[in-house]
Structures are given as structure tokens and as C-alpha cells.
């Protein structure tokens, strides 16, 4: 499994929203400037998280993004899945594997167990744990 920049920046963005939960909405530009990230990319990430139901967006003056739920209710798994990230450690444990040796592979069971535990970890870690 390789986390993309989208996943990394997405986790940064939601952590920033969690830190500013009491204040007012945070704009994509504010997050981008604080962490030296490309603003258009942060905007796309937050839009995707909005479509996934994890963040809410407000337009206009004083607008920006807020979390829909409490940080303790948002798992890292939900965030990564909301961004469209694959949680499969290796391709043979995911749906639609094209591996030619999957039926006889001696490592498939081990990879499957490691992957299951990794997904459980992502599911048990919340945004509150990260901030």
C-alpha cells in the first residue's frame, strides 16, 4: 500500500479542520498557505471529502470547510475511503485481482491477514487521535 499525496494532504486538511472546530470555517487557501500545499489540490481534496459526507462547505465571505461530525467519530479509514484511496496492501487481496498465481500463492493468506489488521487499525484510529 502506498498512500498518495492526496491521502497525505487530505489527512492534513481534516486535522486542520479538527483543530479549528470551535472557531469558524477554514478555507482551502488557509490550509494550503499554512502547510505550503497547492491551493487547487487542497480545494479538490476538500470537495471530494464534502461529496463523501465528511466535511461541509460554506460559500461566500467567512465561508470555508467544517467537519460534519466530531473528530472522535471520524476514522482514518473513512477519510482514506472518502478520498478514494485503496486500503489494500497488495493487489491480490483486493477485489478483482489479476494475479496469475493467486489460487496457488503461498503468501496470499499472510498478506490477507496483514491487510485485515491494517484496515482494522485505520478503522480504530480517529481524527481525534491524530490531533
Write down the domain spans for the chain. 5-130
Q: Which helix (H) or strand (E) holds 102?
A: none
Task: Give me the phi and psi of 5, to 5 degrees please.
Answer: -60, -35
If we measure between CA atoms, which residue out of 3, 10, 2 comes closest to residue 83? 10
What is the per-residue pLDDT across 9-43, written as a single tens digit (0 to 9) for each?
A: 999 999 999 998 877 899 999 999 999 999 999 99
At residue 26, the pLDDT reads: 94
- Residue that wins the pLDDT comparison between 91 and 65: 65
- Residue that wins the pLDDT comparison between 72 and 102: 72
Evaluate whether 42 touches 9 at the Cβ level (below 8 Å): yes
Angle subtended by helix axes 5-19 and 39-51, to nearest 10: 80
Q: Which CATH number fits domain 5-130: 3.40.50.720, 1.10.10.10, 3.40.50.1820, 3.40.250.10?
A: 1.10.10.10
At residue 1, the pLDDT reads: 63
At residue 125, the pLDDT reads: 97
The grid coordinates of residue 40 equal: 487547487
pTM: 0.88
The torsion of the CA quartet 75, 48, 5, 18, rounded to 10 degrees, works out to: -50
Amino acid at each position: 500500500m502506498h498512500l498518495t499525496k492526496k491521502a497525505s494532504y487530505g489527512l492534513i486538511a481534516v486535522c486542520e479542520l479538527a483543530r479549528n472546530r470551535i472557531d469558524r470555517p477554514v478555507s482551502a487557501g488557509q490550509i494550503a498557505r499554512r502547510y505550503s500545499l497547492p491551493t487547487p489540490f487542497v480545494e479538490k481534496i476538500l470537495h471530494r471529502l464534502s461529496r463523501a459526507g465528511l466535511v461541509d462547505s460554506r460559500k461566500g465571505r467567512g465561508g470555508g470547510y467544517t467537519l460534519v461530525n466530531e473528530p472522535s467519530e471520524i476514522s482514518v479509514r473513512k477519510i482514506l475511503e472518502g478520498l478514494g484511496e485503496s486500503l489494500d496492501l497488495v493487489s491480490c487481496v483486493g477485489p478483482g485481482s489479476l494475479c496469475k498465481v493467486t489460487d496457488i500463492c503461498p503468501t496470499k493468506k499472510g498478506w490477507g491477514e496483514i491487510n485485515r489488521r491494517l484496515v482494522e487499525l485505520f478503522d480504530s484510529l480517529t481524527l481525534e487521535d491524530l490531533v
